[in-house]
Amino acid sequence: MLPDPLHPIVVHFPIVLSILLPLVAAGALYAVSRGARPMRAWGITIAVAAALTLSAWVATETGEQQEERVEDVVGESRLDAHASAGESLFYASIGVLAVLALGLAPANTGRVARYVGAAATLTVAAASFKVGMTGGDLVYKYDAASVYAKSDTTAAGAAGEKREGGEKGEKGEKDDDEKDE
Task: Return contacts of 60-66, CB within 8 angstroms, 24+ apart.
Answer: 60/86, 60/87, 60/90, 62/5, 62/6, 62/7, 62/10, 62/11, 63/7, 63/11, 65/6, 65/7, 66/5, 66/7
Domain regions of the chain by residue span: 7-180
pLDDT-based confidence at residue 144 (cuts at 50, 70, 90): confident
pLDDT one-digit tens code per residue, 27-74: 999 999 999 999 999 999 999 999 999 999 999 999 998 888 888 888
pLDDT at 175: 47
Between 65 and 167, residue with greater pLDDT? 65
pLDDT at 150: 61
pLDDT-based confidence at residue 8 (cuts at 50, 70, 90): confident
Record the pTM. Answer: 0.80
Residue range 125-150: average pLDDT? Answer: 90
